[in-house]
Amino acid sequence: MAASLPEFPTSVKNFQRYLQIKTVQPTPDYATCGQFLRDMADELGLPHQVYEMAPGKPIVVMTWEGKDPTLPSIGLNSHTDVVPVYEEFWSEDPFAANIVQDDAGEHRIIARGTQDMKIVGMCYLEAIRELRNRGVKQLLRTVHVIFVPDEEIGGADGMQAFTQHDSFKKLNLGLMLDEGLATPDNLYKVYYGEKAPWWARFTAEGNTGHGSKFIPNTAGPKLANVINALLQFRGQEEKRLIAGKDEATGKLIREGDVTTVNLTMLSGGKQHNVVPHALEACFDIRVSPFVDYEKFSAWLAELAHRNDVTLDYELKYTKPNVTFLENNPWWAAMQRVGKRLDIPHDADILTGATDSRWVRCLGIPCLGVSPMRNHPILLHDHDEYVTVNCYLEGIHYYEHLIEELANVG
């Protein structure tokens, strides 16, 4: 017989309620989610505004006004949407937010969105509750808690559009916190930059004819040359990462320092014995922020031109995407909190893309952190979970972090 579960605090139940709202792409229930967030804001006594850059996609902004609202504010950002699931591979209903005790005695909250990234949004709110409960009426700087839609499909109707709106400019952000990743290590990862997503499509055209002949100038060899060159580059970058150190400079090499290349789609052709007129190969390329974008773009263009292949991009992000940490008061504040709570912080470049890229390119510092140490990385995976203790630690962490950041003079 399974052991009965303890009575969990209201903060845990609120997290479960948030997870149970099916904000799953491609048809997120943003209406229910928006109402839930507005109710939470009212409960916390936080004035809030709702903006829609596209119909039915609410951006909810809650505001805790500071003692000096003229100072640049602190933005606490999270996205409300989650990715789809393959329910047959889950041990629990992915939208029930059930709590299950594992063999080590930890209580796991299993649900889509636990790690990516509803834990962060709810930790913000519960941390503010804790600050209010211990008598903190105001911090020096204004704090805005921002909930945006559609991050999982690129953010065009969410943060990207919001940053171009007057309502965003009026927030007067001096810093935005955003998501990071879980880590199996006993520390918090803090992401100060991201790789740039380039989704490249190479299309080769050539002569057609019967599959039994040596037909000149066909699409296949042209595209093969491009594929081979990109996979050779991929191998070189992987070799650098495995080596762990740049031979010329001695600098340590981490995932953020290398550019990843993956062949993700191949298409073309009609049947086995017909040489196709056109073939297409698509690559997901994540360009390190330490790469010269112009030179890398020129190399890809030259590769296509040399092989008589057309190159176009589904996505090509080339704007600045790094928040420098040297002499950075926000990073110094985070380190103070980590030292106080005995939680090491490891600064790194995020391999994926988040809403931070739309904000960093405006010159606003962004740091991404998700308070999930000693956890497997399960975003977009089956049986995504965080433990109850991890979530409660996250609340405690943000309680200290929000206070520290918002009181930076």
Mean pLDDT of the chain: 97
The amino acid occupying position 336 is: R
Residue 247 annotated as part of some ligand binding site:
no
pLDDT at 2 (0 to 100): 52
Question: What secondary structure letter does DSSP report for 310?
Answer: E
Residue 404 annotated as part of some ligand binding site:
no
CA distance 199 to 283: 6
pLDDT at 248 (0 to 100): 81
pLDDT at 1 (0 to 100): 41
Structural domains for the chain: 10-194+320-406 (3.40.630.10), 196-316 (3.30.70.360)
Residue 272's Cα: distance from chain center in Å? Answer: 42
Residue 152 annotated as part of some ligand binding site:
yes
pLDDT in tens, 289-324: 999 999 999 999 999 999 999 999 999 999 989 999
Whether the predicted pLDDT of 395 surpasses 80: yes
Q: Is there a contact between 381 and 112 (Cβ–Cβ < 8 Å)?
A: no
Cβ neighbours of residue 164 closer than 8 Å, sequence gap 6 or more: none
Residue 314 annotated as part of some ligand binding site:
no
C-alpha radius of gyration, the chain, whole number: 24
User: Residue 123: how many CA atoms within 13 Å on its side-chain side?
Assistant: 33
Please tell me which residue in 150, 151, 157, 399 is annotated as part of the active site: 151
**CA 83 → CA 207, 339, 366, distances in Å?**
42, 34, 23
pLDDT in tens, 22-78: 999 999 999 999 999 999 999 999 999 999 999 999 999 999 999 999 999 999 999
The pairing of strands 209-210 and 274-275 is antiparallel
pLDDT in tens, 229-243: 999 999 999 999 999
Q: Is 381 designated active site?
A: no
Show the beta-strand stretches assigned E in 251-406. Answer: 260-268, 274-275, 278-287, 309-316, 345-350, 366-369, 385-387
pLDDT at 251 (0 to 100): 87
pTM of the model: 0.91
Q: Is 81 designated active site?
A: yes
pLDDT in tens, 257-286: 999 999 999 999 999 999 999 999 999 999
Report the SS3 class of residue 286. Answer: strand
Residues β-bridged to residue 275:
209
User: Residue 369: how many CA atoms within 13 Å on its side-chain side?
Assistant: 28
Whether the predicted pLDDT of 363 surpasses 60: yes
